[in-house]
């Protein structure tokens, strides 16, 4: 089997000292301020003067801001993290100009993730210990798994989530062995009752992680609504709500990792639907179930793991009527409502809706791989 070098992030919990937590919290605030102010300056320059401010221009702005006595607190944290905030803003603009995302938005103190990124000049890594710039002691990291032998982090990102958990993500170069070629090919139909249905006929039950904790979450949210804004009790209950959400997200991510890894290991080619989840969640009766299924997250995992291990993922056009086409004779059912889970074709074939859709998705995806063309429904 061949091997390849990839950049891979390893994420760990860590427990900061009181001094480290104070410094990192101030760093998060400074990073957010620099990002937002640079965004405001770049927006103003374009709207008023039709002038495009470059990354180098924002770096010069940062130097001037640090010279302002009123902003002296910017010098109390690592300059590396502030520079990286400007890099992140530049990347957001590049994505916008390339039409991969919308115009950059301001970071919110409440809604945005508190994080700071450090390059090699902002931290040291020796004997398995990380020491950040301006921190007197190394971080107390829980090494749930070891970094690859000989790997040295090129970038570390420190974050604190809404549940007040601290994490450090280390980007390293790792060697990954590509998997041996497999004759198996599979179509994947995403659903709600079954998280996915495979063209082999297998149905993977939807764990419905949010539904399992829904009663507990609703009780905590009602309790939060009764607390006075700004009170200490409200802070405690808000943390309780955040921990329930974190527990749901952790379970969901773990299940998706296991499912995506199994699908990639067992199949050479995986065909999926190019679903527009953003539009689908506008259906208020299904929005909660669709969000809990996390189809976009599953697709992302399938794609990057396929790239790692030498597999192929093909996306079929979202308008392809996979459920309505008979996988035996090709007849298209003119009307097939969502509540019909099994139907019979005039040719006599009896179809399970989801299995039939998965089989058609696989066939369409293989056609795409041969013709290099999109798959769309026939139009009158």
Residues acting as catalytic residues: 189, 273, 354
Distance CA(248)–CA(212), nearest Å, equals 9
The DSSP bridge partners found for residue 197 are: 189, 203
User: Which of 33, 80, 308, 26 has its CA nearest to residue 179?
Assistant: 308
| Phi, psi (degrees; rounded to nearest 5) at 76 | -80, -10
HSE-CB at 109 with a 13 A cutoff on CA atoms is: 6
User: Would you state the structure tokens that stand for residue 261, as one six-digit string?
Assistant: 């890894």
User: Which of 272, 274, 246 has its CA nearest to residue 260?
Assistant: 272
CB 308 within 8 A of CB 6: yes
Distance CA(78)–CA(34), nearest Å, equals 13
Distance CA(151)–CA(175), nearest Å, equals 10
**What does the CA dihedral 320, 321, 327, 332 come to, rounded to 10 degrees?**
-130
CB 357 within 8 A of CB 196: no
SS3 235: helix
Rounded to 5°, the CA angle 77-83-84 comes to: 100
User: Would you state the structure tokens that stand for residue 87, as one six-digit string?
Assistant: 């890099």
For residue 179, the Cα-to-chain-centroid distance in whole angstroms is 24
């Amino acid at each position: 089997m061949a091997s390849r070098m990839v950049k891979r992030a390893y994420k760990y919990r860590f427990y900061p000292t009181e001094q480290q937590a104070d410094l990192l919290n101030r760093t998060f605030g400074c990073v957010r301020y620099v990002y937002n102010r640079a965004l405001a300056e770049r927006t103003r320059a374009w709207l008023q003067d039709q002038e495009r401010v470059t990354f180098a221009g924002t770096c010069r702005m940062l130097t001037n801001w640090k010279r302002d006595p009123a902003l002296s607190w910017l010098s109390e944290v690592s300059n590396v993290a502030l520079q990286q905030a400007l890099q992140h803003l530049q990347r957001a603009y590049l994505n916008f100009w390339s039409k991969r995302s919308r115009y950059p938005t301001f970071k919110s103190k409440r809604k945005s993730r508190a994080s700071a990124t450090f390059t090699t000049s902002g931290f040291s890594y020796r004997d398995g210990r990380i020491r950040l710039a301006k921190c007197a002691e190394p971080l107390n990291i829980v090494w749930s798994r070891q970094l690859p032998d000989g790997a040295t982090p090129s970038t570390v990102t420190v974050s604190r989530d809404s549940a007040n958990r601290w994490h450090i993500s280390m980007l390293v170069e790792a060697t990954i062995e590509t998997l041996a070629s497999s004759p198996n090919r599979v179509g994947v139909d995403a659903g709600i009752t079954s998280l996915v249905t495979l063209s082999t006929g297998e149905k993977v039950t939807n764990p419905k992680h949010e539904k399992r904790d829904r009663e507990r979450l609703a009780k905590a949210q009602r309790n939060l609504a009764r607390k006075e804004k700004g009170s200490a009790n409200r802070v405690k209950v808000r943390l309780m709500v955040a921990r329930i959400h974190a527990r749901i997200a952790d379970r969901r991510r773990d299940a998706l990792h296991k499912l995506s890894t199994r699908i990639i290991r067992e199949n050479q080619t995986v065909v999926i639907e190019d679903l527009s989840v953003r539009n689908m969640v506008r259906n208020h009766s299904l929005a909660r179930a669709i969000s809990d299924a996390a189809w976009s997250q599953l697709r992302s995992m399938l794609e990057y793991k396929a790239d790692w291990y030498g597999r192929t993922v093909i996306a079929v056009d979202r308008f392809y009527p996979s459920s309505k086409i008979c996988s035996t004779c090709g007849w298209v059912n003119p009307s097939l409502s969502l509540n019909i889970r099994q139907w019979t074709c005039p040719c006599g074939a009896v179809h399970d809706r989801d299995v039939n859709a998965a089989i058609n998705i696989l066939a369409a995806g293989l056609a795409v791989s041969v013709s290099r063309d999109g798959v769309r429904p026939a139009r009158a």
